[in-house]
Chain A
Amino acid sequence: MTGDPYSAGVRELFAAPGHAGDLEKPDLRVQINDQGVRVALAATIDGDIIGSLRFRAWGCPHLLAAAEAFCRAYEGRPVSALQAFSAADLMQTLAVPREKLGRILVLEDTVRSLGQSVRQSPEPGKDTD
């Protein structure tokens, strides 16, 4: 027991959120405000592949770290992978405490919403927010 509420992974992601911010021309942008936190995701889509991802978030360090971790992991992956994103898996990887589940689920909802937006978007390249 170190008494540190943050794992090394959370600390690294929080300290270097390289994917925080905006994309110049996102194909999709979604935002969910819930559980006292806010998560926004923006993406470019190249066919069935996720091009670039950016996030904006207002919440605890675990949420910001999780959003950064998602962006790092999903660039270059098929769009279909978005529906399989699991907050529980990410929480385990980053050692996020159980009481933060509600906030990380907001990220999961936002990711799923992004995936649904891809399916509903007739013409990638248009901002759907």
Chain B
Amino acid sequence: MSNSTDIVYLDYAASTPVDPRVIEVMTPLFGVGGDFANPSSGHLAGRRSQQHVARAAEKLAGLLGCSERELVWTSGATESDNLAIAGAARYRADRGRHLVTMPTEHKAVSDVFHALEQQGFEVSWLYPAESGVLDPAELEAAIRPDTQLVSIMHVNNETGVIQDIEALGAVCRARDVLFHVDAAQSVGKLPIDLASLPVDLLSTTAHKVYGPKGIGALYVADRPGCHVEPLIYGGGQQGGRRPGTLAVPLIAAFGAAAGVAMSEMQDNYAHLRALNDRLWQGIRDLDGVVRNGGEDSTFPGILNVSIADVEGESLLLALEPLCVATGSACNSTSSEPSPVLRAIGRSDLLAQSAIRFSFGRPTTAAEVDFAVARYREAVTTLRGIAPGLVA
């Protein structure tokens, strides 16, 4: 099902529509007669609002396998990443100023590390294997006595590559280093049990899992040495870690989205697997097409492919009305080759031709078939126009 009659949307890794069941929970909380009050207010209306927040926290905590008090509401994954990385680095700066991450991280992570480098922190950037996966031994070798924080995403937003956060987290835990995971692409889609995973900080957002934009959360493990300094000041809400009036309708919506995701995760995963396989089978015989990210180590909601001898920007336009991405949405206006694809060894030209297809609950087999036909036609047309390499 397309969400408009004139487009075929295969960009669910960038954002998802809000589930009708979520809208049903959220909408009554905005207006007169709804529980719109400030949840910090002690009166009856405030307490009613607070109950919505508490229910949402319960649902999100249930999805993540953590305690409600370990959740901090934010405006989205970008803020969660900033709060986790900058907040933890500053909190532990007196113990050491060495940090570890990867160049394949989302800009919401990598740009924070770049900023911290300007503030006197030292950052080690670890490169993955061609599959996109980081070997825990590489992380082990990079950790030093003064290392305080490691940040590695769970599912890569461009390639769908899944990192072994259990093994990577175990390396960090053994060395008393905080481990942050950007899980914007995986929460609600892959099982995550923070009660058993060695993860200290985990970022998530609602709009990747059929909730609204503008609300996210940061998990901060309730364990010694794990704390974040606030990035903003102005009140004591959320234990001072993230002050500001809570956005009750958005939080309630995130909770509802988490509940739906938990109950339907298994079925949705099978649906995404079938769509991913269908698309890849439809284009894999094209000359020069390559899959970015190992077939066995990627989340099926994302299929990232490059193709030789085709210019990426023209390919993207020729694919319309198919809505796909050349990389992360945040990067889609840049003509620079994706650093994620360069890090897994793709040439500039191959990286520049990359197209990310991403699927969602509403995606149909007919839409995937349309994408296959459109991709094949676009590649054939653009190759037909291109001159040879030699004049």
Using CB atoms and an 8 Å cutoff, list the residues of chain A in contact with chain B.
5-6, 11, 14, 17, 20-21, 30-33, 37-40, 56-61, 64, 99, 129
The answer to the question of B130 belonging to the interface, with a C-beta cut-off of 8 Å to chain A, is no
Q: Name the residue on B nearest A100 (C-beta).
A: B335
> Given the complex, which residues of B lie within 8 Å of A60, measured CB to CB?
311, 313-314, 335
Q: Name the residue on B nearest A33 (C-beta).
A: B391
With A58-B311, A60-B311: A14-B317 Cβ-Cβ less than 8 Å = yes
The answer to the question of B387 belonging to the interface, with a C-beta cut-off of 8 Å to chain A, is yes
For chain B, the bracket of interface size reads: 10 to 19
Q: Name the residue on B nearest A42 (C-beta).
A: B387
Tally inter-chain residue pairs, CB-CB below 8 A: 48
Residue in A14, A17, A58, A61 whose CB lies within 8 Å of B387: A58
* 9 sample A-B contacts, Cβ–Cβ < 8 Å, listed by A number: A17-B385, A30-B391, A33-B389, A37-B311, A38-B387, A57-B386, A58-B386, A99-B335, A129-B391
> Given the complex, which residues of A lie within 8 Å of B42, measured CB to CB?
none
Residue in A38, A56, A64, A129 whose CB lies within 8 Å of B314: A64
User: Does A64 lie within 8 Å of B391, measured CB to CB?
Assistant: no
Residue in B333, B384, B385, B387 whose CB lies within 8 Å of A31: B387
User: Does B313 lie within 8 Å of A61, measured CB to CB?
Assistant: yes
> Given the complex, which residues of B lie within 8 Å of A39, measured CB to CB?
387
User: Does B311 lie within 8 Å of A59, measured CB to CB?
Assistant: yes
- Report which residue of A5, A14, A38, A39 has the largest number of chain B beta carbons within 10 angstroms of its beta carbon: A38
User: Does B391 lie within 8 Å of A59, measured CB to CB?
Assistant: no
Q: How far is the CB of B49 from chain A (nearest CB, A)?
A: 36
Instruction: Compute how far the CA of A32 lies from the CA of B309 in the bound complex, rounded to whole angstroms.
Output: 17
User: Does B385 lie within 8 Å of A56, measured CB to CB?
Assistant: yes
Instruction: Compute how far the CA of A17 lies from the CA of B317 in the bound complex, rounded to whole angstroms.
Output: 14
Instruction: Compute how far the CA of A6 lies from the CA of B335 in the bound complex, rounded to whole angstroms.
Output: 15
Residue in A6, A57, A129 whose CB lies within 8 Å of B317: A6
